[in-house]
C-alpha cells in the first residue's frame, strides 16, 4: 500500500489518543479505588451492586428492628418478673391470714395493687407495653376522658355480679363532680355511659377525670371492683426478615385475674368479710395468675432466641454481600496498579515512536 506522510501523522495522532484514553480509564480506576465507577463500566456488575446495596440496607433495618425488639422483650421480662414477685408477696400475706394485723396488711395489699397497675401500665418509647393495639391509652386506669365536649364511657371491672353500682367522678383537685348510680353489674368488664355533665347538669371542661367504683350485691354485701383492661388482644408484629415476622404478646388482660384477686382481698378486708375459704380460693387464683406470667416469660425467651438466630444470620448475610460488593466494585487494586504502570510505559513508547516518525527526514533533505 502506498503510504504518505499525512497517513503517518494521522495514525500517530490516533494512537496517542487511544493510548491516552486507556491511560485515563486505568488511572480513574486506580485513583477512585473502584473498578465500577459508572453503570457502563460493567452494566451487570452495576446492577448487582445496586441490588446488593439495597439488600444490605434492608438487612440493616431488620437488624435494627431486632435490637429494638430485644429492648422490648427485656422491658417486658423485667415487668413480668416484678409483677410475679409482687404477687408472691400478696400470696404470702393472704395465706398468713390467721395471725395478721388487718390494717397493715390492707395497706400492703393496696400498695401491691397499685404497683401491679403501675407495672401493667409500663411505657416504652411513649407507648404502653401491654395495651394491645391501643398503645396510647393506659391499659389499666380508673379514669375517663372528655374531649371536644364528648365524654367517653366509664369502664370498670367487677369481681362478681352486683345489684347496685355507684361511680364517683372526681376532678383534678379531687372533688367529686358527679355521682352515677346504676342498678346491675356483671362479673368482668362493665361499661357505663356518661354524658359529661356534673351533678348540676353543667358540661364539664375537656380533660381526664378519675373515678372510683363501689358495688353491692343483692344482699347488700360489697362486690370488689377493680380497673378494667382497656386495651385489646393486640399482638405486636415485628418484621425480622424477608416476609418473616414474629408476634409479641402485648395483651394486658394477662394482669386482670391478679388485679381481681387483689381487689377481692382488699374489699373483704375493708368490709371485714374475710374468711379462710376466701383466702384459699384467692391464693389459688394468684397461683394461676403467676403461672400465666411464667408461661409468658418462657414465650418471650423463645422469641428472644429466635431473634438471636435471625440476627446472626443477617449479620452473616450482610458480611457476605459486603464482600461481594468489594469484589465486583473495588476489584483487585494491585492488578489495576500494575496495569497503570504498563499503560504508562505503552504510552511512552507510542510517544517515542511518533516523535521519531515526525523527525523522519524527507528525500529533499538529501538533494
Q: Is 301 in the site for other proteins (CB under 8 A)?
A: no
Asked if residues 49 and 330 have their Cβ atoms less than 8 Å apart, the reply is no
Using DSSP's 3-state secondary structure scheme, residue 167 falls into: strand
By CB under 8 A, what part of segment 193-252 binds other proteins? 232, 234, 236-239, 242-243, 245
Cα–Cα dist 99/141, whole Å: 33
Instruction: Report in angstroms how near the CB of residue 323 gets to other proteins at its nearest.
Output: 16
Q: Which cell numbers hold the place of 194?
A: 356518661
Q: Which cell numbers hold the place of 325?
A: 460488593
Q: Which cell numbers hold the place of 165?
A: 353500682
Which one of the spans 46-54, 146-154, 209-217, 333-341 is the region binding other proteins (CB under 8 A)? 46-54
Q: Which cell numbers hold the place of 366?
A: 538529501
Select from 360, 143, 104 the least CA-distant residue to 230: 143
Q: Is 148 in the site for other proteins (CB under 8 A)?
A: no
Which one of the spans 148-156, 157-165, 179-187, 359-367 is the region binding other proteins (CB under 8 A)? 359-367
Identified binder of other proteins from the candidate list 24, 31, 33, 47, rule CB under 8 A:
47
Q: Which is nearer to other proteins, 28 or 208 (CB)?
A: 28
CA–CA distance from 162 to each of 4, 91, 141, 180, 256 (Å)? Answer: 118, 26, 21, 15, 18
Instruction: Report in angstroms how near the CB of residue 179 gets to other proteins at its nearest.
Output: 29
How many C-alpha atoms does 182 have within 13 Å on its Cβ side?
18
Identified binder of other proteins from the candidate list 24, 31, 33, 51, rule CB under 8 A:
51
Asked if residues 128 and 162 have their Cβ atoms less than 8 Å apart, the reply is no
Q: Which is nearer to other proteins, 173 or 367 (CB)?
A: 367
Cell 382497656 belongs to which residue? 230
Binding mask 12-31 for other proteins (x = CB under 8 A): --x-----------------
Identified binder of other proteins from the candidate list 109, 132, 140, 165, rule CB under 8 A:
132
What are the helix (H) ranges across the chain?
5-32, 43-95, 102-120, 256-270, 276-325, 333-358
**Across-strand partners of 128?**
123
Residues 339-360 as b/e (b if ≥16 CB within 10 A, e otherwise) read bbeebeeebeebeeebeeeeee
Binding mask 108-127 for other proteins (x = CB under 8 A): -----------------xxx
Q: Which cell numbers hold the place of 29?
A: 480506576
Cα–Cα dist 225/73, whole Å: 31
Q: Which is nearer to other proteins, 96 or 147 (CB)?
A: 147
Q: Which is nearer to other proteins, 37 or 115 (CB)?
A: 37
Identified binder of other proteins from the candidate list 19, 26, 34, 226, rule CB under 8 A:
34
Q: Which is nearer to other proteins, 123 or 181 (CB)?
A: 123
Q: Which is nearer to other proteins, 32 or 203 (CB)?
A: 32
- Biggest CA pair distance of the chain: 143
Identified binder of other proteins from the candidate list 16, 23, 46, 163, rule CB under 8 A:
46
Identified binder of other proteins from the candidate list 27, 28, 37, 208, rule CB under 8 A:
37
Q: Is 135 in the site for other proteins (CB under 8 A)?
A: yes
Q: Which is nearer to other proteins, 88 or 237 (CB)?
A: 237
Instruction: Report in angstroms how near the CB of residue 235 gets to other proteins at its nearest.
Output: 8
Cα–Cα dist 74/242, whole Å: 24
By CB under 8 A, what part of segment 54-93 binds other proteins? 54, 57-58, 61-62, 65, 68-69
DSSP label of 249: -
Query: Rounded to 5 degrees, what are φ and ψ at 85?
Result: -70, -30
Binding site for other proteins (CB under 8 A): 1-7, 10-11, 14, 34, 36-44, 46-48, 50-51, 53-54, 57-58, 61-62, 65, 68-69, 125-127, 131-136, 232, 234, 236-239, 242-243, 245, 362-364, 367
Amino acid at each position: 500500500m502506498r503510504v504518505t506522510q499525512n497517513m503517518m501523522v494521522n495514525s500517530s495522532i490516533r494512537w496517542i489518543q487511544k493510548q491516552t484514553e486507556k491511560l485515563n480509564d486505568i488511572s480513574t480506576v486506580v485513583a477512585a479505588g473502584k473498578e465500577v465507577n459508572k453503570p457502563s463500566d460493567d452494566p451487570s456488575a452495576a446492577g448487582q451492586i445496586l441490588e446488593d446495596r439495597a439488600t444490605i440496607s434492608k438487612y440493616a433495618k431488620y437488624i435494627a428492628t431486632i435490637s429494638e425488639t430485644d429492648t422490648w422483650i427485656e422491658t417486658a421480662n423485667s415487668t413480668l418478673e416484678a409483677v410475679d414477685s409482687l404477687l408472691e408477696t400478696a400470696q404470702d400475706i393472704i395465706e398468713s391470714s390467721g395471725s395478721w394485723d388487718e390494717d397493715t396488711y390492707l395497706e400492703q395489699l393496696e400498695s401491691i395493687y397499685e404497683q401491679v397497675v403501675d407495672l401493667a401500665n409500663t411505657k416504652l418509647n411513649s407507648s404502653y407495653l401491654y395495651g394491645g393495639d391501643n398503645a396510647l391509652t393506659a391499659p389499666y386506669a380508673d379514669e375517663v376522658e372528655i374531649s371536644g365536649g364528648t365524654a367517653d364511657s366509664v369502664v370498670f371491672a367487677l369481681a362478681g355480679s352486683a345489684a347496685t353500682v355507684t361511680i364517683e367522678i372526681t376532678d383534678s383537685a379531687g372533688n367529686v363532680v358527679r355521682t352515677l348510680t346504676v342498678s346491675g353489674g356483671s362479673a368482668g368488664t362493665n361499661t357505663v355511659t356518661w354524658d359529661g355533665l356534673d351533678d348540676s347538669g353543667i358540661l364539664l371542661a375537656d380533660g381526664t377525670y378519675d373515678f372510683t367504683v363501689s358495688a353491692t350485691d343483692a344482699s347488700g354485701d360489697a362486690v370488689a371492683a377493680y380497673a378494667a383492661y382497656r386495651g385489646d388482644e393486640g399482638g405486636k408484629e415485628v418484621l425480622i426478615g424477608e416476609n418473616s415476622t414474629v408476634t409479641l404478646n402485648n395483651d394486658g388482660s394477662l394482669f386482670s385475674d391478679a388485679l381481681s384477686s387483689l381487689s377481692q382481698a382488699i374489699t373483704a378486708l375493708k368490709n371485714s368479710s374475710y374468711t379462710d375459704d376466701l383466702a384459699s380460693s384467692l391464693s389459688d387464683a394468684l397461683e394461676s395468675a403467676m403461672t400465666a406470667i411464667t408461661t409468658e416469660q418462657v414465650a418471650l425467651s423463645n422469641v428472644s432466641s429466635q431473634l438471636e438466630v435471625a440476627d446472626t444470620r443477617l449479620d452473616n448475610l450482610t458480611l457476605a454481600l459486603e464482600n461481594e460488593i468489594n469484589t465486583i466494585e473495588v476489584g483487585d487494586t494491585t492488578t489495576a496498579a500494575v496495569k497503570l504502570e504498563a499503560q504508562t510505559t505503552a504510552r511512552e513508547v507510542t510517544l517515542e515512536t511518533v516523535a521519531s516518525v515526525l523527525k523522519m527526514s524527507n528525500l529533499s533533505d538529501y538533494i
